[in-house]
Structure 1
Amino acid sequence: MAVHDDCKLKFQELKSRRIYRYIVFKIEEQQVVVEKLGGPTASYEDFMACFPPNECRYAVYDFDFTTNENCQKSKIFFVAWSPDSSKVRMKMVYASSKDRFKRELDGIQVDMQATDTSEMSLDLVKARAM
């Protein structure tokens, strides 16, 4: 599975310049491409709304939070979205390319797998960030 250069470029911009809050990726014609970019003011609800109910996706989310010691921090989450209602072949393609794609994105700190939105709720993200 090829990875379009734009995927790495946009990820670097999210990581270093913080001009995106999130990036959603999809596999199209045997390569991973950028599907949607969320601006720096986009909310977690905006991010959640990007996931189609019957199709798999990859995504990264730059999560800002405050620690118990009152320190501002940020962690980059990688989400592998694979809803139960998506086609078996699609799930297999996404599952088999996930690790290779993730290696292309240097700087991911938390890995999440989700089959429905409850598995990536904001409370779970906060818990995984701490």
Structure 2
Amino acid sequence: MHGKTSALGCEISKHQEKRRLKIVDCWKVTRMAMAFKMATTGMWVTDECKNSFMEMKWKKVHRYIVFKIDEKSRLVTVDKVGGSGESYGDLAASLPDDDCRYAVFDFDFVTVDNCRKSKIFFIAWSPTASRIRAKMLYATSKDGIRRALDGISYEVQATDPTEMGFDVIQDRAK
């Protein structure tokens, strides 16, 4: 056989060598793509976030989900989940006064034509009392989590509770 010798001392054919090189090249490209993804969003969204969002969107198990960024692991994780019987007021009360969060809220309403509808709101909560580093981290990671959570209808950015009041949500939904 006129092939190369592998690391184990066995001869490998030209076909096997080409296949091995394709696998190695594919692995390098995949690894580069993952590094690029991390560089552009800065964070990884956990499967728990995506699964909880899908349960809210399709099964209507949750009324809202609050997400937070773990700065050490650079992961977006689920902080709190509101049951289907909870209200928008419960979501607003669950947001901290001194730290940033992301939240999604499933808003049910009736249109002027008497049709029941549901819209999912994405809330970027960044209170004035939070640290500047946290504000920057949440601002740069917002697009990444929005892309990961497919099906968001509207976005609200708030620095105090009046900017995300129930009347603001109602006006946006119409």
Aligned to 2:124: 80
For residues 42-83 of structure 1, the C-alpha deviation after alignment (integer angstroms, 9 at most, x for no partner) is: 011111111100100000000000111111110000000001
**Alignment RMSD, CA only?**
0.6
The one-letter code matched in structure 2 to 1:35 is D
Q: Which runs of 4+ in 1 moved over 2 A?
A: none
Map 1:1-130 to 2 at 5 A: 1-28=43-70, 29=72, 30-130=74-174
CA offsets 1:13-60 (integer angstroms, 9 cap, x no match): 000000000000000131100000000000111111111001000000
TM-score for the superposition, normalised by structure 1:
0.98
Higher percent of residues as helix: 2
Percentage of pairs with the same residue: 54
**What SS does the aligned partner of 2:98 have?**
coil
Structure 1 or 2, whichever has the larger Rg, is: 2
- Aligned pair count reads 130
**How much has 1:125 moved relative to structure 2?**
0.2
| SS at structure 1 position matched to 2:162 | helix
Runs of 5+ in structure 2 lacking a partner? 1-42
Structure with the largest fraction of strand? 1
Paired residue secondary structure (2:94):
coil
Q: Which secondary structure state, in structure 1, belongs to the residue aligned with residue 68 of structure 2?
A: strand
Equivalents in 1 of 2:112, 2:163: separation in Å?
24
Structure scoring higher RCO (CA < 8 A, sep ≥ 6) equals 1
Cα shift readout 1:98-124 (whole Å, capped 9, x = no counterpart): 001110000000011000000010011
Does the residue aligned with 2:121 lie in a helix, a strand or coil? strand
